[in-house]
Chain A
Amino acid sequence: MAETRAPAERPLSPHLQIYRPLLTMMMSIVHRITGFGLYFGTVLLAWWLNAAANPNGYTRFQAFAGSWIGRLILFGYTWALIHHMLGGIRHLIWDSGHGLGPNEREWLAAANLIGSITITIILWIVGLLAVGGPQ
C-alpha cells in the first residue's frame, strides 16, 4: 500500500476580515443578530400575556411599554421581527433555487432592509396614533 501523501500546506478558508463587506454578507449577519434578539424578546411576550389577567400587573406592563426605554426596546423588537421575517422569506426563496443570481441577491438584500425599515415605521405611526402620543 502506498504511503499517504499529506496535503499541501494551504491557508484555511479566509474569514470575515479578509473579505470586503458586502450587503448580502451584512444581511446574513443581521439575520442572525435579529434572531438572537427576538429569542430574548419572547420574555416580553410572556410578560404581556400573563400581565393581561390582572389589572395591577397590566398597569405595570403598560408603564414599562410606555416609558422611553420600553418604547425604544419595543421599536427595536418591531424592526427585528419584521427584518427577520422578510429575511426568512428571502431564505425560503433561495431554498426554492430562485434569486441566487448576482443582481437578484443584491436586490433581495436591499429590499429586505428597505422593506423592514418602511414597515416598522408604518406600524409605529399606526401604533402611536392608536395610543394617542407619548403618555
Chain B
Amino acid sequence: MSELKHIRTPLARVRGFGSAKSGTGAFWHQRVTAIANIPLTIAAVFIVISLLGRNQPAAAQTLGSPTVAIIMVLFIVSITAHMRIGMQVIIEDYVHDELAKLTLIVANSFFAVAVGLISVYGVLKLSFGL
C-alpha cells in the first residue's frame, strides 16, 4: 500500500506509454525476412566460395552477371531489413533512457539503409559496367 502515493492506479500510470502500434508488423516482417534469408544466405555463401582465390576481373564478372547480381541484391535487401528490426529489439531491451533510445533507433535505421544501399550500389555498378 505504501507504493500508492497518489490516487491513480498503476494501470492508469502506464497507459499511453506502451505500444507504438507497430509491434505486430515488426514481428511479422522479422519472420518474412528470416524465411527469405535462408535460401538467399545459402546462395550468397556459394557465391563467395566460388570467388575465393579469384582475381578482381573474375570477381567483377561473376558478381556483375545477371543471376548473381540479382541474388546478391535480394540478399542485401532482405538481411539489412532483418537486421534493422533485430537491432531495434536489442536497443529497446537494454536502453531505457528515452533520448538515448530514440537516438540509437534512428542511427540504427540510418546504418541499415546506408550499408544496404552502398552494397546494392556496388553490385549494380558491376552489373551495369559503370
Contacts and interface: CB of A to CB of B under 8 A. Distances in A.
Interface of A: 4, 6, 32, 35-36, 38-39, 42-43, 45-46, 49-55, 58-59, 81, 85, 88-89, 91-92, 95, 123, 126-127, 130-132
Contact of B121 (A39, A42, A50): A50
Contacts of A53: 60, 122, 125-126
B71 to A, nearest CB: 12
Contacts of A85: 37-38, 41
Contacts, number: 87
Nearest to B10: A7
B122 A35 contact: no
B56 A46 contact: no
Contacts of B38: 85, 88-89
Contact of A49 (B35, B41, B55, B123): B123
Main secondary structure of the interface of A (DSSP, over half): helix
A32 B119 contact: no
15 contacts: A35-B87, A39-B87, A42-B79, A42-B83, A42-B119, A49-B63, A49-B72, A50-B118, A50-B122, A51-B122, A58-B60, A85-B37, A88-B38, A130-B49, A132-B53
B87 A6 contact: no
A123 to B, nearest CB: 7
Contacts of A54: 56
B76 interface: yes
A81 B49 CA distance: 14
B53 to A, nearest CB: 4
